[in-house]
Amino acid sequence: MSLCLAAGCADNAIPKAQLPELDTTNPLLAAWETPHATPPFASIELSYYEPAFDAAIASSRAEIAAIVGNPRKPSFVNTIVALERQGELLARIEGVFYNLLSAESSPEMEQIALRVQPKLTELANDIALDPALFARVKAVYDRPGRLDKEERMLLDKTYKSFARNGAALSDADKELYRRYTTELAELTLRFGQNALAATNAFTLNITDPRRVAGLPAFVKEGLAAEAAARGEKGWTVTLQAPSYVPFLTYSSDRALKERLWRASNSRALGGEHDNCEVLKRIAALRLKIANLLGYACYADYVLEERMAERTATVQSFLAELLDATKEHADADYRMISDYAAAQGLEGTLMPWDWAYYSERYKDEKYALSDEVVKPYFELENVKRGVFLLAGKLYGLRFEPNPAVEVYHPDVKAYDVTDADGRFMAVLYLDFFPRASKRAGAWMTEFRGAKRDGQGETRPLVSLVMNFTKPTESTPSLLTFDEVETFLHEFGHALHGMLGEGRFESLTGTNVYRDFVELPSQIMENWATEKEFLDLWAVHYETGERMPAEIVDRIVAAQNYLAAYANVRQLSFGLTDMAWHTLTEPYEGDVVAFEQRSMAPTQVLPAVEGTAMAPAFTHIFSGGYAAGYYGYKWAEVLEADAFSLFRQKGIFDREVAGSFRENILSKGGTEHPMELYVRFRGHKPETAALIEKMGLGK
């Protein structure tokens, strides 16, 4: 069916809005005459953000008013497509501001965010709770006419977004909904800011050379560089992963490691940046919102729009994996504990001992310490390998484009083209930690993909990570885990870059949360494939290809402590579900709540006075509430999916083409289970993951 979008087709025309005049001296409001219409970062001053937000919000209100005031009969185009298209200016500004708030923040930006967020929440509520607008949407939903699959999906999602955001509530309940969501938006933002501030607030400066004597040279160099950058003597450890993890892994100073571990695992637990009351209020507000909308708990509300669909399904899924692996995880702990005792550790093996002794055991059993592997994983070579893989699988090419402005000198931008030369995306790579960047690694977009009457818009994709910076004498060398992280986030990038569709809200990574990790987690499989590593993994000093014996050891060690790692991940999913299956607000102690929720997964000894929840940004400020199980869910999907590559060949273009066509390009245009079965031929089962971990035998 072809839909008329032209102005002459009155019933099916997107209504024209009387937009307010924009101050085009503000670069956020002007047309971007830049390569691929990329953000002109150098021209954007902090003072431009709030006026731009205000103007864009006003434009959105005018566009909504035009839809509501359209005298024509509601249709798919003049109502549903019009809603999809409205707010493009606001989305552009949000794409810049909120991405930089995570990657290149400042106290001033955080204050702007606090001032702007209530306005954005008010706008979202005004749209969602507008009875006249909902009446038009419902009219189309009730009598949709002939629509194709993509159009039907947009209609369904649009209708549900209204129903699930309070449109059908009474006037009194709508006001409650407004209050709850406004406060919730402010608190989730504050939670993330507190977690970042608590992470940055702690440092451990060491001036006694004896306390760092056993550290590898690359770790000492990094700690010395950190100290120098802070104007301190000696060596400084922070709670950022590239500093924290190597210190715990290689230091034999148990007292310092305990201090560091306790600091990391009590971030935002009390003190100046305390998140305990914030997170309890967040959980309570989510429950109140769910109850208003007719759900018993917040998880019921969330999972209705997930691949899993029901709370009981998720709880059964987590229990099934826990039952299959907990005994093996306990055996992992006993194995490392016995080894540590044999090495002279006195007393119980504690969490701050785990990385050190598990690394030594791995080195002894597999001769595969990070020091052995890192020289072959020089960052530039890893990047070349990742690009090469995308070329082999999907025919993509990556060319640096210095004409594209970046937001920090460490960032590099690339033009991404298809095998036929078609421009697919701009890819920004931001590798190194800094105080203005939150911890972790993530993929995001400054702009998504879409096709409309103006032509095709291709995405602007950003990968943000926190790898160890190069020093004067050593380039950035990645651990094997960091190589997997790079591949993981690059999988998200592929999902964004290869997205195809008419509607931005349905393209790329705009899929169910428990499906979005499939494209990322499947990419990690190539990290242990010799055929792939042989193409690029060379020693950064000698140029020697990674020896086959090291590759074999990597493969052999792939499932080292796999059960422990699995149960640890399940513990995060279970505590997430515990907070979001509450049916009454929780007013008690956060530490006690966490100990109860994680008790079934407890492997390492519990430590009083610590809790992860106050810094668990994924679920309290990052969009994964009642969804953290999705990482394990996606592992089951990817274990089953990659078995087809293993069967046909890890670079097989036919399999890759099917994965691109049915998974990567389709985005959220169809139900994910339909897409998965179309690619794989059957529904996934947990047995695939258990077997992959080597526990099924």
Annotated active-site positions, please? 489
> Tokens 């691949």 — which residue?
307
Q: What gap in Å lies between CA 353 and CA 343, rounded to an integer?
A: 12
202, exposed or middle or buried, with CB in 10 Å at 0-12, 13-18, 19+?
A: middle
Q: If residue 417 lies in a helix (H) or strand (E), which one and from where to where?
A: strand 412-417
Listed in sequence order, the DSSP H helices in 164-216 are 171-201
Distance of CA 313 to the CA centre of its chain: 23
DSSP string, 29-65: TS---SGGG---GGG--HHHHHHHHHHHHHHHHHHHH
Listed in sequence order, the DSSP H helices in 293-310 are 298-303
Count CB-CB contacts under 10 A for residue 138. 17
Q: What gap in Å lies between CA 517 and CA 330, rounded to an integer?
A: 27
Pairing of strands 442-447, 460-464: antiparallel
Pairing of strands 460-464, 423-430: parallel
Q: What gap in Å lies between CA 283 and CA 277, rounded to an integer?
A: 10
Cβ atoms 604, 546 nearer than 8 A: no
Contacts of 527 by beta carbon, 8 Å cutoff, 6+ apart: 480, 483, 484, 487, 533, 554
**Token output for 127:** 């749209």
Cβ atoms 326, 318 nearer than 8 A: no
**Token output for 86:** 């409205």
Ramachandran assignment for 48, one of left (phi > 0), alpha (psi -120 to 50 degrees), beta (any other): alpha
Cβ atoms 610, 266 nearer than 8 A: yes
Q: What gap in Å lies between CA 435 and CA 412, rounded to an integer?
A: 19
> Tokens 């099916």 — which residue?
12
